[in-house]
Amino acid sequence: MRARLIGVMLLLMVYSASTFAGDILVVVSKASPVDSISRRELVDLYMGRSHSLPDGSPVLKIDAPVDSPTREAFYRSLINMQVAEVNAYWARLMLTGRATPPMSVTRTEDIAALLERNPNALGYLPEDSGNENLKTIFVIKDTSRAP
Amino acid sequence: MKTSKPFSLSRTLRERLDLKIALAILCLAMLFLLVLGFFNYLKAQQEERAHALAVVREMVAVVEGNAAIAAYLKDIQLADEIVSGLQDSRYVARAAIDIDGGPTIAAGDITQSVEADVVHRLNAPFDAADQVGTLRVYADFAFIGQLATGRGRSVLVGQLALLLLVSGALFWVVRRVVIRPLGRVVGQLKTIEQSGVAHLRGISLKSQDEIGYLARNINSLLEKVHQAYLSEAEHNRQIAQLERKFRLIFEGSHAGIVLVDESDRLALVNPAFEAMVAELLPGAGCLEGRPLSQLFREPERVDDILAVVRDSHTSIFCDLMLAGEQEIWLRGVFSIIESQGGDERGYVEVVFSDISDRALTEKRFEYGATHDQLTGLLNRRGGMERFARQIEQAQAKGSELILCLIDLNDFKPVNDVHGHEAGDLVLQEVAQRLQHALRADDVIVRWGGDEFVVSMLVSGDFAVEAVGRNLLSLFRAPIEIDPQTRVRVGGSVGIASSAHSGYNIQQLIESADEAMYVVKKGDKNSYRVSGAEEQFEP
């Protein structure tokens, strides 16, 4: 616990300059037929309840790297859970195999590349990492920012 | 060899106070226990049920998250694991998860029962407002009932044990505090009853409670009873001694002693009296109950004496002759028995002594002493006695008594001329004439020599004169000494009356004597009444 706390503190120190602050954009390839998605649909997709997009097309969910502040912010804003909790959730469901967790990338830059290449893929990015090959279908407001 | 009586529970219970108390406590406690146990059982069952439901709710709370996830993901395998896990619990009979928009995953047969004991709404893990399913759990009430029964039974057993323990303790305490001291009192009382006159041993008991008080009270009571017994025994001994003495007197006395009841019958006779009257009643054993008077020749006299004794409360002394052939005289002393008790009221005690020989001689002697041998009239002594009685009679009746003194005139010449025998004849003739002339209850006395005294009760104004004339008339006829010889004697009569002289015999005699003397000095053959002016002549 203490080690974890120290770890979190170190992380905060490392990313202090670039500590994530701001909205998170849910993005797909420009070629994707999906133009928008509801928050609930987003949750159901990422938490394993839905296996396809609202229009019925299959989907590839991409998660930010495990330790990235983006991933942290995404889950906190979406379902008010920490990454560790989400991991535990998935670990619980591993055995049944009915639901599968999103695919995790090792680097944040890989997300954009994966999305560009795959029209069925769905991912999220920090708001400042704009990319003209992608389209934003949902914006998660930064709940931690002071109003 | 003492034969032991067969053991009887009911008798033992009746005789043993401690067992009685213990049994009563036990019975009452059993009753309370039954009632209490019933309610306790009900309460235990309720509590067990509530507890079981609480446990089930807790389990539901534990699996709630997973169940919600299972419902959220429609993960049938996960749901099945969860309901199976729930059913594994002993408190749970059946469990089911209804997934909204999906199947119902159940463990156990849920179709038969409609209402689940715990129904929990399953919300989406990431959105509390979104219901994704329902968790239904059916508690295993058969098992809960078993638990409740077990608990109720254990409570009951515990209380029963406590009850037995308390009963036993009470039994022991009662035995120690009440029964043993009581038993000691009873035991000592038993030995005291048997100890009799011997020195009284009190009950010794140390306790200060009610039993000690009882023992002390019994002691003082016993002491009193003992004292009373001792004094009573002493009293009885004295009475017995006295009775023996009295019996000795009564049985051994030579005097005949009888007790006469209020109806003049013999109530008690002693052997001496039985011997006295034995000849009268040959063979007849029992004297008691016979009238006393029938034993005597003059029964009415006996009855009179008894009546007088009862009336006057004095003792009367009297000689009586027994009925029967022989002349047996008994001297009896009659006394009333003064008793406070009601039974002997009017009883008269008579003590008889046989005076037969003495009585005969006394009778003869008395006759000689009171009568004139020549004329058979009373002599002066006998006359005085009769006068006294007559005066009493007169006084009692209030009638007049007269006393006449008669002195013969010309008697001395008869004696001198014809001799003493002729004189005696004259005296006898005069005596006879007096007896004929006078009434039976008049008293005629030869006063001495040629003097006679008569006294009588009279009534009426002229009675005195009539008497005087009658007396003088007795001398009119001549007296025949022998067929050839007749003599004539006269009489000087002096009369005294109680009207003048009072009821005093001496005074009457003196007055009569004075009057006669006056007549003697005068013309002789006449009479004079003392206190009267004239001298009467025939």
pLDDT digits (tens, 9 = 90+) for A5-24: 666 555 554 444 344 567 88
Please say if the pLDDT value at position B284 is more than 70.
no
> Could you report the per-residue pLDDT of B475-495, keeping only the tens digit for each?
988 998 888 888 889 999 999
Contact assignment for B125 to A93 by CB distance below 8 Å: no
Residue A1 counted as domain residue: no
What H or E segment, with its residue span, contains residue B288? none
Residues 6+ apart with CB under 8 A from B434: B377, B444, B452, B454, B474
Residue A77 counted as domain residue: yes
Nearest CB to B126: which of A47, A92, A96?
A47
| Confidence label for A147 from pLDDT (cuts 50, 70 and 90) | very low
Contact assignment for B127 to A81 by CB distance below 8 Å: no
| Confidence label for B236 from pLDDT (cuts 50, 70 and 90) | very high
Q: What is the CATH number of the domain that holds A26?
A: 3.40.190.10
| Confidence label for A146 from pLDDT (cuts 50, 70 and 90) | very low
What domains are there in chain B, each with its CATH number? 10-195 (no CATH), 253-363 (3.30.450.20), 371-536 (3.30.70.270)
Rg (CA), chain A: 15
Residue A76 counted as domain residue: yes
Contact assignment for B127 to A43 by CB distance below 8 Å: yes
Please say if the pLDDT value at position A91 is more than 70.
yes
Distance of residue B47 Cα from the nearest chain A Cα, in angstroms = 36
> Could you report the per-residue pLDDT of B71-107, keeping only the tens digit for each?
888 888 888 888 999 889 888 888 899 888 888 888 8
β-pairing, B400-409 with B490-497?
antiparallel
Number of domains in chain A: 1
Q: What mean pLDDT do residues B532-536 have? A: 58
Write out chain B residues lying below 8 Å of A42, CB-based.
none
> Could you report the per-residue pLDDT of B356-407, keeping only the tens digit for each?
776 677 777 778 888 888 888 999 988 998 899 899 988 888 889 999 999 9
Q: Sort B302 into a burial class: Cβ within 10 Å, 0-12 / 13-18 / 19+.
A: buried
Please say if the pLDDT value at position B39 is more than 60.
yes
Residue A111 counted as domain residue: yes
Mean pLDDT across chain B, nearest whole number?
84
| Confidence label for B139 from pLDDT (cuts 50, 70 and 90) | confident
| Confidence label for A4 from pLDDT (cuts 50, 70 and 90) | low
Residue A120 counted as domain residue: yes
Could you tell me the residue range of the domain that residue A33 belongs to?
20-140
Residue A65 counted as domain residue: yes
At residue A16, the pLDDT reads 41
Residue A66 counted as domain residue: yes
Residue A5 counted as domain residue: no
Q: What mean pLDDT do residues B484-511 have? A: 90
Q: Which residue has the higher pLDDT, B138 or B21?
A: B138
Residues 6+ apart with CB under 8 A from B482: none
At residue A33, the pLDDT reads 84
Q: What three-state secondary structure class fits B201?
A: coil
- Number of A to B CB contacts under 8 A, please give it: 35
Write out chain A residues lying below 8 Å of B78, CB-based.
93, 96, 98
Contact assignment for A96 to B78 by CB distance below 8 Å: yes
Q: Which residue has the higher pLDDT, B17 or B50?
A: B50
Q: Find the chain A residues whose C-beta atoms sit closer than 8 A to any C-beta of B.
A: 40, 43, 47-49, 78-81, 89, 92-93, 96, 98-99
A48: left (phi over 0), alpha (psi -120 to 50) or beta: left
Please say if the pLDDT value at position A31 is more than 70.
yes
Q: Which residue has the higher pLDDT, A147 or B104?
A: B104
Write out chain B residues lying below 8 Å of A89, CB-based.
69, 125
Q: Which of A85, A93, A100 to mutate to test the interface with B (most CBs of B within 10 A)?
A: A93
At residue B1, the pLDDT reads 45
At residue B199, the pLDDT reads 57
